Amino acid sequence: MKTSSKIFTALILIFLFAPIVILLVFSFNASKSLSVMSGGSLYWYRELFRDAETLGAVRNTLVLAISAALISTVMGTAAAVGIHRLRSKAVRLGYEQVTNIPMTNPDIITGISLMLMFVFVGRLFGASTSLNFWTMLIAHITFCLPYVILQVLPKLQQMDNSLSEAAMDLGCTPMQAFFRVEIPEIMPGVVTGLIMAFTLSLDDFVISYFTSGNGFETLPIRIYNMTKKTVTPKMYALSTIIFFTILALLIMSNLIDTSAPGVEKPLRRERTASQKKRLRVAGAIGGVLAAGMIAVMIIGAPDHPVLNVYNWGEYISDGSEDSFNTIRGFEQWYKENYGSEVEVNYTTFASNEDMYSKISSGAVSYDVIIPSDYMIARMREEGMLLPLNFDNIPNYENIGENFRGLYYDPDDEYTVPYTYSFVGVIWDAERVDEEDTGDWDLMWNEKYKGDILQFNNSRDAFATAQYKLGLDVNDTDPESWRRALEELKRQQPLVKSYVMDEIYNMMESGEAAVASYYAGDYFTMLDAEADNVDLRFYVPERTNYFIDAMCIPSCCQQKELAEAFINYMLEEEPAIANAEYICYGCPNRVVYESEEYAEDMGEEAMEILYPNLDVFAENFNRFAYRNLDAATLSLVNSLWEELKIN
């Protein structure tokens, strides 16, 4: 019995802490790979502290969490005291219940309703952007408040009511009685409430996501938006740091609770007094810090123009891993060329759809956005884009001829292409015969049964079958989609699993040998492949091409500045830095004709990323995904489910 309970306890501990341990271990990994542990190193910690954007998000998160925690603790304690002093029991219980409701509310409802309210109030006052730091602060205070009240109220109820009467009797004013007697009594609850509010605010994603506005990005949102590329290991380092910070807070709050009156032994009296003093000092420092940070945010509000750029996560050369910092570069370049200061407020999104809903909510305003082709087509049709003034973008001439007149912007009025890529097949030369490669048939080859990875997203998975069969990926004829489904069903027994981000790990470690994925991401895998793995890449004749392009949305406040930014991004230095950082194809002649760039990228990458560009426009217009109508979309979804259920 005893040993079995010990084993069970051990299992529980492993279950609870294994993920954290793995996170911790890999945060010290010298390489990027999750599968290969190539020696301990502080490399990712160093990288983390060099990443200005991420550190900015950390700073934002801390400012927000500390301010929200302090304000909600003060407000919540006051509210709890108010509720506690209500004479009528029915009214008091009513208040307690009402303040509890927000805790049981799903975050998503809280988030949406807060966003609606902010947008509504913002419109009422005619503000162009109603979501900002302050709305987020209000939102965080809103969801932290009930937790503080919940912590403080029981302490008040446990407290002998005659304590404050005794204090007043002994010469205290009601205020003095509150601070000298009641506050020390309920302090454990107040501190627990504070710590709870802090941790809640620190890791909140859903509510923050709905209420975040221009340029104020918290860490959870930033990490979420990194999904365009894979999450970099510096986030493991950051998560490890956060974990230990929270752990320290937790231990601190437990110490406070055990030193609460009534529990301690008389001998520990002295120590508690000094602990209390230390706590007070810590509280004061925290308060001053938060006040200072808020003050900086208010006073530091720039008097020069601010350019709001909205881009995919991890999709710009930002100074990390010794790269060129494009954003700071623009600020400098602008000052040199135009003689005035400008500040870039850079925010990220995780998908075209996220970006679209944020912009169409009308609560934010961005000056430059970088969506994908099909989304550009949609936004253009809906009048959400402004035509560009190419007089302000002289560098547009650098864009290769093959990247003009594409279907989403046939007259080149609205967009300047940023990157392009395509889907290809990745194969492990250690296990796959070269003669089997070249087209989509490899993904259906019985020889590699159980070694094949297929996309875990309907559009990309269907497309592999459609390209293989020579079908149109944008067909509205259901029969054509059913044929593709049959092909996928035929492939199903060969497939090891349907994956998205897991593909990195499985291919790098040699767990799987054949997969189709995006060209840029192949290079990421190449960097981290294990010793017994030799990854190669080829592009079938028919495949998906996609382009992300810079546009100016109709909510833009600084059009000329935005055009200056777009122009700068086409300059040689930032364009090459960007192309090297992102590892996607670059439609900029200055880049792909540069010898320096070709040298940096290596022969293989150049061959893959820049095949015969003469046919790019033709291929793109023929094979790229377009918006599907609603009927086809729902058909695709139901067919996809039919496949996955099997």
Residue 293: both structure tokens together: 């940070």
Tokens of 3: 């040993």
Shortest distance, position 303 Cβ to another protein, whole Å: 48
Backbone angles phi, psi at 342, to 5 degrees: -145, 150
d(CA 70, CA 149): 13
Give the separation between CA 195 and CA 463, rounded to whole angstroms: 50
Q: Cβ(44)–Cβ(27) under 8 Å?
A: yes
Confirm if 31 and 167 have CB atoms less than 8 A apart: no
Is residue 292 at the binding interface for another protein, with CB under 8 A as the rule? no
Binding of another protein at residue 167 (CB under 8 A)? yes
What token pair was written down for 535?
């990854």
Which of these segments, 55-63, 259-267, 313-321, 428-436, binds another protein (CB under 8 A)?
Answer: 259-267
Instruction: Report, in Å, the least distance between residue 88 CB and another protein.
Output: 11
Q: Does 262 bind another protein (CB under 8 A)?
A: yes
217 contacts: CB under 8 Å, gap ≥ 6: 56, 57, 60, 347, 348
Which of 19, 106, 126, 266 binds another protein (CB under 8 A)? It is 266
Q: Which of 166, 284, 631, 633 binds another protein (CB under 8 A)?
A: 166
Closer to another protein at the Cβ: 180 or 459? 180
Closest distance of CB 141 from another protein, Å: 29
Residues 182-241 touching another protein, rule: CB under 8 A, are 184-185, 187
**Number of helices followed by number of strands (H, E) in the chain:** 27, 9
* CA–CA gap between residue 315 and residue 279 (Å, rounded): 43
Closer residue to another protein, CB minimum distance, 2 or 265: 265
Binding residue for another protein (CB under 8 A) from 169, 257, 430, 614?
169
Part in contact with another protein (CB under 8 A); list of ranges 67-75, 119-127, 262-270, 567-575:
262-270
For the record, the structure tokens of 193 come out as 């409430």
CA dist., res. 459 & res. 195, Å (int): 45
Of 269 and 304, which CB lies nearer to another protein in the complex structure? 269
Q: How far is CA 228 from the centre of its chain?
A: 9
The verdict on 172 binding another protein (CB under 8 A) reads yes
Stretch in the footprint of another protein (CB under 8 A) among 42-50, 266-274, 433-441, 571-579: 266-274
- DSSP letter at 585? B
Q: Which range binds another protein by CB under 8 A, 258-266, 344-352, 435-443, 622-630?
A: 258-266
* Rounded Cα distance, 543 and 541, in Å: 6
- 264 near another protein (CB under 8 A): yes
162 scored as a contact of another protein (CB under 8 A): yes
The least distance separating another protein from the CB of residue 155, rounded to whole angstroms, comes to 12
- Which runs of consecutive H residues, i.e. helices, occur in 86-211? 89-104, 107-124, 133-158, 162-169, 174-177, 183-203, 206-211
Does position 269 interact with another protein (CB under 8 A)? The reply is yes
Q: How big is the site for another protein, counted in residues (CB under 8 A)? A: 27
CB 259 within 8 A of CB 279: no
- Rounded Cα distance, 610 and 597, in Å: 12
State the DSSP code for 407.
T
* Minimum distance, C-beta of residue 257 to another protein, in the bound complex (Å): 14
- Contact present, 560 and 380 (Cβ < 8 Å): no
CB closer to another protein, 162 vs 646? 162
Q: Would you give the DSSP letter of residue 387?
A: P
Tell whether residue 332 is a contact of another protein (CB under 8 A).
no
Residue 163 touches another protein, criterion: CB under 8 A: yes
Of 133-141, 171-179, 191-199, 320-328: span binding another protein (CB under 8 A): 171-179
Please tell me whether residue 339 binds another protein under the rule CB under 8 A.
no
Nearer to another protein, 269 or 328 (CB): 269
Structure tokens at 308: 């709001």
Per CB under 8 A, the list member of 7, 18, 91, 170 interacting with another protein is 170
Residue 347, beta-bridge partner list: 310
Residue 159 CB, nearest distance to another protein (Å)? 9
CB of 185 to another protein, least distance (A): 6
| Beta bridge partner(s), residue 309 | 346, 368
Q: Residue for token digits 């205020």? A: 175
Within residues 174-193, the interface with another protein by CB under 8 A covers 174, 176-177, 180-181, 184-185, 187
Determine if 168 is a binding residue for another protein (CB under 8 A): yes
Q: Could you tell me the smallest distance in angstroms from the CB atom of residue 147 to another protein?
A: 24
Kindly state the smallest distance separating residue 161's Cβ from another protein, in Å. 9
User: C-beta of 158: minimal distance to another protein in Å?
Assistant: 10
Closer to another protein by CB, 175 or 299: give it. 175
Find the binder of another protein among 38, 41, 157, 173 (CB under 8 A): 173
For another protein, the closer of residues 193 and 400 by Cβ is 193
Nearer to another protein, 104 or 274 (CB): 274
Residue 257 binds another protein, judged by CB under 8 A: no
**Are residues 332 and 576 in contact, defined by beta-carbon separation less than 8 angstroms?**
no
Task: Please report, for residues 400, 581, 609, the alpha-carbon distance to residue 591 in angstroms, rounded to integers and kept in the order given.
Answer: 10, 13, 12
In sequence order, the 6+-apart residues with CB closer than 8 A to the CB of 630 are none
Closest approach, Cβ 86 to another protein, in A, equals 16
* 165 in contact with another protein (CB under 8 A): yes
Identity of the residue, 179 or 338, whose beta carbon is nearer to another protein in the bound complex: 179
Per-residue 3-state assignment (H helix, E strand, C coil) for 349-371: ECCHHHHHHHHHCCCCCCCEECC
Specify the pairing of strand 416-428 against strand 545-550: antiparallel
* Interacting residues with another protein (CB under 8 A): 160, 162-163, 165-174, 176-177, 180-181, 184-185, 187, 261-262, 264-266, 269-270
